[in-house]
Structure 1
Amino acid sequence: MKKTLSIPVFLVMALGSPQLAAAELPAGLKWQSNLHEPRFASPQAKFGGTFHTYIESFPQTFRTVGPDSNGRFRSWLLDSRPAAVSRHPNTQAWIPDIASEWAYGNDDKTVYFRINPRAKWSDGKPITADDFTFVLTFMRSKDIVAPWYNTFYTQQIQDVIKYDDLTFAVVSAEKRNAEELMLYANLRPIPAHFYRPKSDKNNDGIQDNFVRYYNFKPEPSAGPYYVDEVKKGKSISFKHVGQDWWGYSNPYYQHRYNVAKIRIKVIRDKDIARQHFEKGNLDSFWLDTPELWREKTETPNYEYGYIHKFWGYNQIPMGAGGIWINTAKPLLDKLDIRQGIALASDFDGLINKVLRGDVIRKPNPMGVGHGDYTNAGIQAPPFSPERAIQHFEKAGFRQVGPDGIRVNEKGQRLSFAITYSYGYLTPQIAYLKEQAKLAGLEFTLNLIDGSSAFKYILEKKHELSFHSMSTSEIPQYWEYFYSGNANKPQNNNFTNYSTPELDRLIMAYRSEFDLAKKKAYARQIQSLIADASVIVPGYMRPYAREAYWRWLQIPKPAMTKSTEFLFPSGTSRDFGTYWIDESLKKETKAAMKSGRYFEPVTIVEEAYKL
């Protein structure tokens, strides 16, 4: 979430002031389009049908910025929506998206883009350079109530320049190496026509009461799907723009996003959702727990081949996560308490005994998979009640109460609540709770409904929070540990931890041009965070593991290095390469009525297993 102030000349240009002459493109630009990367969708794909899935809680908002916007549903609104360019999921080369061509300036700050002339919003309006210049107007406005975006788009993006309706440039505030310059320049457009204000007392181009006015007004989409039908609290449907969607003029979009509609039903209990799936009311189901992959799939629908199983590995960078410790809460500001909590949290036992070895311990609290940015020397603290007790005693908790929980001289119990968002996690938290007692530490369970849980955490009400965050290919630290974000609501500094040394390194990291130095700063930052024991590293799943009815079809192979899900799921990070075969759907339902069986199918793809 990112934001900033100040309205320099280029913002006036973004608003289309008539007295400013059009900018001229520099001569000698070397335009590229990169149309030669391998395709990863199947030409056999068919268009049509409705995909049925579910979410466990209705979103707090359809905005993607501002209060309550950073919940799980946000990915449904953003992940299939194009930016200027995108990464190929296997080669990681830049490939065209909304921009059909791009060129780098010779100043190490500027990237130029030419928009695909067919590109349109889902409401039929053309996508133009104005929708990219408007990004700065939007993200810098105080009316969106998103300080992170305000700061980022003021401090990190210097300018967005329009040359004509289909040509624009993004100028970084600082010189950047080629590896990361595009990451900063690669903007998602924002539909300027949709956000034209009816009331604008601040004269900043944004609706004064933006947060309330747009709370449940989904914006038009540049991608294949847009929010269509909404039944508040019950369901949300996405509708495909149609087979004439502009994206299909891009060869990398061909044979993708094949279903005509996606219907998402709110089902608050995962086990009830699984029952809906096995009745054929949902088309796929995420098999994230050992029981779901094993015992829960030993049913006739799987054995008779009506439902298929899939397990495919990926190589996706993993973000920060595990148990986040809120240092603004009583006792948790003490290093010995935090170190004791880390040593009393038996994640290794949880992985082996509860999760049956299906997942991997995350060694680094800030995540892994970022190449030389990752500090490989950091290891997760092993479970050691004895060492945890030593730290607790140093912090003054030398006595053990009749219930086995440690107390200090003031009578304070060594007890902290773990906030988490989904009921299926309860056995995992319960295991950690039982093991922690061996060190005289009490974990209490604070289960809060999905989207409400993240709101609770963003408002910094938690003591401990059990969750993980997604990540970009180049890790970010400012949002998590810069002092300006500590002790303030609605940002990602979940630990409320910062130090002058972290501030210095974070700012140096953000502005460093030399890649070797930048990566060295990243490793230093990670080391300081690990030493502070403010995040107890959790676990990670480097794979997609799903069940699906046999009428859903997938490419062969189905996985790319970057595939998180085969189908739209709890989060919608899929590449839209599946399709529905209506003839197989009729065949399957007829077979179920007549008692006809098919061969059971379990697919395992290990090409990207590390």
Structure 2
Amino acid sequence: MRKILNIFAFGVITLGCLPAWSAELPVGLTWESNLHEPRFASPQAKFGGTFNTYIESFPQTFRIVGPDSNGRFRTWLLDSRPAAVTRHPDTKAWIPDIATEWAYGNDDKTVYFRINPNARWSDGKPITADDFTYVLTFMRSKDIVAPWYNTFYTQQIADVIKYDDHTFAVVSAEKRNKEELMLYTNLQPRPAHFYQPKVDKNKDGVEDNFVRYYNFKAEPSAGPYYIDDIKKGKSITFKHVGKDWWGYSNPYYLYRYNVEKIRVKVIRDKDIARQHFEKGNLDSFWLDTPELWREKSDTPNFEHGYIHKFWGYNQVPMGAGGLWINTAKPLLDNLDIRKGLAFATDFDGLIEKVLRGDVIRKPNPMGVGHGDYTNSELKAPPFDPDTAIAYFTQAGFGNIGPDGIRVNNKGQRLSFAITYSYGYLTPQVAYLKEQAKLAGLEYTLNLIDGSSAFKYVLEKKHELSFHSMGTSEIPQYWEYFYSENANKPQNNNFTNYSTPELDQLILAYRSEFDLNKKKALAKQIQAIVDQASVIIPGYMRPYAREAYWRWLQIPQPAMTKSTEFLFPSGTFRDLGTYWIDDSLKRETKAAMKSGKTFEPVTIMEEAYKL
């Protein structure tokens, strides 16, 4: 299931302490496990078959860190992979993953884990404490060219201690309340044997030429699937480890990840991909736009019951996103300009007129769904051209040019490019462009191919970027607004915005032990970001909405609170509870040839609708 946050999804190694093999496990630990939560997969599931899906651009790397690694394909390499423990998707209780048991130390810093002795990498090597102890070396190395990870694993994780091959402890650099402590210490291992350096002049345990050497070398997987076949620029195929995958010794993995192969084709145009889906070349399709859910699913294959429709609500926390304003670009360092942009950007009209009310406006630029961490007093700015004009005038743009766009005394036009990554977003950005003219603002459209667009934004070349980020149950701010990340490429400070006040609050937030104080700091940080107008809140979809051929089967009910996708449609964030029924596939193919039809099926699940 989806990991809490990428920064919590790695293991680490002991540095600057006694050798790991000399450590003695403390006596008197209280070991915990949890095998009593409800199951969410179906015993009717069948193993086998190939699931066909697509992505719109081939990934620029298979590395999980370093340049160009933070693209959309990264979810395929991380989010389906086990960590020490994981959250139950409904109850949110901690349940076993790679570790069968865990224990909390009495220092508010340490959590101890016992590894499932059955755990194996996809290449057959056992998963041991060494794989959890390798990653601090890995993440602290300058060779990976990932300053954010270098800093995090230096400042936030103090130690990882190996006691034996199947027992280790992770030590936080700060005292943390019990719930947050598990988030920091719940690490995802890295295969130490795979990363043994060929050249290591610095003797830091990492290949000196790491970025280039590992660019398209996919590491072995601890999860059920590993990359088996690569046709560069065309497709990537994941293969299941097999019915004897070690994970099936964990009862929460039973009847999940049922297909034998997942073939991910590169189809650069979404409409062409939909045509492939209608022909049966793809097994499912994400119906994220109103046209796809309504008009473009009004076809014979849907009407004849060959393809089913599903709409199910979830309660997944939503991350920051909308329009990210790069304050390092000319004019955008002016608060009045940014305030004007916020009031001149008609997200509300976009939701009503283009997206037909199928989505919800984000009230908070930093996201929602984080419980008491969320500042519920924040409201997204409404579309108000008059207020926008007042801010623009105050910024020196009181004159109107012959084309209706505002200019200042230097002859600069009030014009900014919106960078976005997928063609299907063009009507949405075009709507924002037309509405902005009412305030004398020009938006130009800067469509860049998917993975290239994110690289463009990571390198801070954008003026405005239209995208949203994932999140965890406890929000993080350091990566977005700490000054070390401003005006530097390859990190998530997309706005290049920071202040000494934010720095102080962010550091206090990271180290705060008291949950009530921590939540208060989170709300204060969100309020400052909101006042800075560096992110114009966009919209969110609190549901999974998909079409799929009738040979795909799903549990009843299919949704959990944490279900983002029923199937791996563009990302790998499903819970793997679907399966392929070959007999239904043969029946459907035969029916299509003979003209036999079935009852059309549309499933609605609203148990988690807020």
The structural deviation recorded for 1:12 is 6.4
Distance 1:59 1:341 in 2: 33
- Is 1:482 matched with 2:486? no
Percent identity between the two aligned chains: 84
Change (3 A) 1:343 1:597: same
Distance 1:331 1:21 in 2: 58
Distance 1:442 1:54 in 2: 34
Q: Is the 8 A contact 1:225 1:238 kept in 2?
A: yes
Distance 1:64 1:569 in 2: 20
Distance 2:49 2:243 in 1: 13
With structure 2 as the length reference, what TM-score do the two structures score? 0.98
**Residue 32 of structure 2 corresponds to which residue in structure 1?**
32
Distance 1:243 1:79 in 2: 21
**Residue 3 of structure 2 corresponds to which residue in structure 1?**
none
Letter aligned with residue 230 of structure 2 = V
Deviations 1:45-82 (A, max 9, x none): 00000000000000000001000000000001111100
- Does the residue aligned with 1:10 lie in a helix, a strand or coil? coil
**Residue 542 of structure 1 corresponds to which residue in structure 2?**
542
**Residue 264 of structure 1 corresponds to which residue in structure 2?**
264
**Residue 213 of structure 1 corresponds to which residue in structure 2?**
213
What does 1:390-539 correspond to in 2, within 5 Å? Answer: 390-539=390-539
**Residue 15 of structure 2 corresponds to which residue in structure 1?**
11
Distance 2:328 2:484 in 1: 14
Q: Is the 8 A contact 1:13 1:161 kept in 2?
A: no
Distance 1:12 1:93 in 2: 34
Deviations 1:161-189 (A, max 9, x none): 00000000000001000110000000000
**Residue 45 of structure 1 corresponds to which residue in structure 2?**
45
- Is 1:599 matched with 2:604? no
**Residue 75 of structure 2 corresponds to which residue in structure 1?**
75
What does 1:147-296 correspond to in 2, within 5 Å? Answer: 147-296=147-296
The structural deviation recorded for 1:342 is 0.3
The structural deviation recorded for 1:9 is 9.7
The structural deviation recorded for 1:21 is 5.0
- Does the residue aligned with 2:324 lie in a helix, a strand or coil? strand
Distance 2:59 2:527 in 1: 36
- Does the residue aligned with 1:559 lie in a helix, a strand or coil? coil
Q: Is the 8 A contact 2:13 2:161 kept in 1?
A: no
- Does the residue aligned with 2:22 lie in a helix, a strand or coil? coil
Letter aligned with residue 38 of structure 1 = P
Q: Is the 8 A contact 1:306 1:600 kept in 2?
A: yes
Distance 2:384 2:460 in 1: 29
Letter aligned with residue 367 of structure 1 = G
**Residue 57 of structure 1 corresponds to which residue in structure 2?**
57
Change (3 A) 1:9 1:599: closer
Q: Is the 8 A contact 1:59 1:451 kept in 2?
A: yes
Distance 1:166 1:119 in 2: 10
Deviations 1:416-457 (A, max 9, x none): 000000000000000000000000000000000000000000
The structural deviation recorded for 1:2 is 6.5
- Does the residue aligned with 2:14 lie in a helix, a strand or coil? helix
- Does the residue aligned with 1:446 lie in a helix, a strand or coil? strand
The structural deviation recorded for 1:239 is 0.2
The structural deviation recorded for 1:22 is 2.1
**Residue 102 of structure 1 corresponds to which residue in structure 2?**
102
Change (3 A) 1:206 1:13: farther
Distance 2:371 2:32 in 1: 26
Letter aligned with residue 501 of structure 2 = E
Letter aligned with residue 203 of structure 2 = N
**Residue 91 of structure 2 corresponds to which residue in structure 1?**
91
Deviations 1:470-506 (A, max 9, x none): 0011000000000010000000000000001000000
- Is 1:129 matched with 2:133? no
Deviations 1:237-283 (A, max 9, x none): 00000000000000000000000000000000000000000000000
Distance 1:224 1:182 in 2: 24
Q: Is the 8 A contact 1:171 1:185 kept in 2?
A: yes
Distance 1:464 1:455 in 2: 14
What does 1:559-598 correspond to in 2, within 5 Å? Answer: 559-598=559-598
Distance 1:237 1:2 in 2: 26
Change (3 A) 1:238 1:13: farther
- Does the residue aligned with 1:111 lie in a helix, a strand or coil? strand
Where in structure 2 are there 5+ consecutive unaligned residues? Answer: 1-5
Where in structure 1 are there 5+ consecutive unaligned residues? Answer: none
Q: Is the 8 A contact 1:102 1:111 kept in 2?
A: yes
How many equivalent pairs are there? 602
Q: Is the 8 A contact 1:276 1:282 kept in 2?
A: yes
Distance 2:368 2:196 in 1: 42
Letter aligned with residue 246 of structure 2 = W
The Cα RMSD (Å) is 1.2
Q: Is the 8 A contact 2:110 2:172 kept in 1?
A: yes
Distance 2:195 2:14 in 1: 19
The structural deviation recorded for 1:13 is 7.0
Q: Is the 8 A contact 2:308 2:549 kept in 1?
A: yes
What does 1:337-352 correspond to in 2, within 5 Å? Answer: 337-352=337-352
The structural deviation recorded for 1:570 is 1.4
Q: Is the 8 A contact 2:13 2:133 kept in 1?
A: no
Distance 1:162 1:21 in 2: 6
- Does the residue aligned with 1:52 lie in a helix, a strand or coil? strand
**Residue 379 of structure 2 corresponds to which residue in structure 1?**
379
Letter aligned with residue 15 of structure 2 = L
Deviations 1:199-251 (A, max 9, x none): 00111000000000000000000000000000000000000000000000000
Distance 2:179 2:96 in 1: 17
The structural deviation recorded for 1:11 is 2.5
Q: Is the 8 A contact 1:482 1:498 kept in 2?
A: yes
Q: Is the 8 A contact 1:2 1:151 kept in 2?
A: no
What does 1:304-323 correspond to in 2, within 5 Å? Answer: 304-323=304-323
Letter aligned with residue 486 of structure 2 = A
Q: Is the 8 A contact 2:21 2:163 kept in 1?
A: no
The structural deviation recorded for 1:10 is 2.8
